[in-house]
Amino acid sequence: MKKNKNVYILVCIVLVSFFSCSTRYRPTAVGSVYSKKGDPFLHVYCENEFDFKQKGVVTGSFKLSKQTSFDNLDAVILIPEVFRKTPEGKFNFWHGSVKLSVKIVFEWDGKDGRHKSETQTYNYPESQTSDGFISISNFELPRNKKIDYKLSFNAGDYFVSTGRKYKLFYYHKESKTDEDKTSLLETAEGKKFWKARFFVAELPVKGKGQTRGNKPFKDQ
């Protein structure tokens, strides 16, 4: 009886380890401070910084893993200085609304030649965000293949969104007041507010991928 119990426990440990590895292990994921806490990302496959004050182009490549979940997968533009949380997981008291439009072309080699998938930010070219996070969906990508990308973006800008008084402001928790910081945007100190990061990553909230049109590409 004791022997059977030990076998049962061993089987449970093996099963738990298997499912844990299958859901967490991503051999092609890259290290990022934005995935250490599992928020906003569980796994990051590419990360590229760019300055959006002027229009431009960003290129690079990445590879999705066999275990990549398309239910969680998204392309994301993150503006760190006005995103709701710091990389350490603390609440960010800097706020700003940004207009930023992006188009992305993904390309890879398949069995019958070169393949392409194109997408863009929602409501292009009037795309905007009030929390420093722009999700970009409706694309098809392969697993276990090198994927090249070309990200083209228009010059971005800060604006006063509905319900706010300033383009850029700092929230003082103690007094519960907003301090106008818009003038920083045109200074050397304010250059950091024009930095954005492009990610292809898995998010912790399921259903964000396929419900938005993201799906795995399969060679015929």
pLDDT score for 95: 97
pLDDT score for 211: 52
Report the candidate in 19, 205, 182 with the shortest Cα–Cα distance to residue 95. Answer: 182
> Is residue 196 within 8 Å of residue 49, measured between CB atoms?
yes
pLDDT score for 212: 59
Is the Cα dihedral 128, 133, 137, 139 positive or negative? positive
The reply to whether omega before 40 is within 30° of 0 (cis) is yes
Query: What is the CA angle 129-130-133, rounded to 5?
Result: 55
Query: Would you give per-residue pLDDT tens digits along the chain (220 residues)?
Result: 555 555 444 444 433 333 344 457 899 999 899 998 888 999 999 999 999 999 999 999 999 999 999 989 999 999 999 999 998 889 999 999 999 999 999 999 998 899 999 999 988 988 999 999 999 999 999 999 999 999 999 999 999 999 999 999 999 999 999 999 999 999 999 999 999 999 999 998 754 444 557 899 987 4
What is this structure's pTM? 0.85
| Gap between the Cα atoms of 218 and 115, Å rounded | 11
pLDDT score for 39: 85
C-alpha radius of gyration, the chain, whole number: 21
pLDDT score for 155: 97
